[in-house]
Amino acid sequence: MQNTQLNRALSHTSTNPGKRLRPQLLQAAARATGNPVSEALAAAPAEAIELIHTYSLIHDDLPAMDDDDMRRGRPTLHVAFDEATAILVGDGLQAKAFELIASEEQLSAQQRIDLVACLAKAAGFEGMVGGQGLDIEATERTLSVEQLKNIHALKTGALITAALVMGGIVGQANPDQKHILKAVGDKIGLAFQIIDDVIDVRSDSTTLGKTAGKDAAAGKSTYVALMGLEAAEAAALALYQESVALIHDWGTEADSLRKLLARMVKRDS
Ligand code: GRG
């Protein structure tokens, strides 16, 4: 690898201490189907979804978006390097994600097509990018809980649901399992975002690894602002319980998925 600024920024990014929840969810969902799925088979789509997530955080932190200088306990990429480099790293990570899936020869052609379509839709206008657009427009406006839910279902939830659905594609889930994995994703994605709002208020910047209290300071509607801290936390826990109930009848092969669902809501960063 050439010692260019772009490559140095990419190395810096690839050693980030993020939680890697989305690739773990994908791996766990694949295993939960009960079909034999090796970690190696799910590795490329798992890495791909984490690359999309990482790109979204890098771009979200840019001055034109959320304008943050701390992420994952370190200076954001445009602070550590510069804005042009941060934009390019995000763009490159996004392209790399699709390259990884398309080139994974252990997966069938149909699986690769389905994985690319699922990830592209979740990342694009009908998912994360669309949600980010609505979120930016909503700054300084008070939203209803339903409007906030819609923004978060797109901005944060779509990629989390995609992790579960992609796990189902890798594990060759049957139609019933596919339907359940999507429903689990929708519920836990929303619960995850609500807890994000809760810990944004409750935690400090060092524990969070990013600037605490940012949403309120930026005039953004949050679940905590609209519902209060305790009601927001109770709503997240109820959604978590509903998500676990959906896989109640699944066997021990779904245990790692159950553990991860708990981690999504019982966290302080
Ligand atoms: C720039 C297209 C574009 C989209 C940005 C993801 C996103 C959309 C914005 C991030 C804002 C944010 C902090 C949302 C809350 C939910 C969330 C995605 C938290 C970060 O995910 P974690 O906790 O992060 O899994 P780590 O660092 O552990 O990977």
**Cα 68 versus chain centre, distance:** 18
Q: What is the CATH superfamily name and number for domain 4-265?
A: Farnesyl Diphosphate Synthase (1.10.600.10)
Centroid of ligand 1 to alpha carbon of 14 (angstroms): 16
Say if residue 122 is exposed, middle or buried (CB neighbours under 10 Å; 0-12, 13-18, 19+). Answer: buried
Atom of ligand 1 nearest to the CA of 90: 1
pLDDT of residue 1: 64
Task: Take residue 208 and report the two structure tokens written for it.
Answer: 């969070």
The pLDDT-based confidence of 147 (bands split at 50, 70, 90) is very high
Distance (Å, whole) CA 248 – CA 197? 28
Nearest CA to ligand 1 atom 24: 18
For 33-92, the pLDDT digits (tens) are: 999 888 899 999 999 999 999 999 999 999 999 999 999 889 999 999 999 999 999 999
**Residue 74: in which H helix or E strand, if any?**
strand 74-75
Q: Which residue out of 60, 126, 192, 269 has the highest number of ligand 1 atoms within 8 Å of its CB and is therefore the one to mutate?
A: 60
Q: Which residue out of 13, 14, 57 has the highest number of ligand 1 atoms within 8 Å of its CB and is therefore the one to mutate?
A: 57
The pLDDT-based confidence of 173 (bands split at 50, 70, 90) is very high
Contact by Cβ (8 Å): 53, 21: no
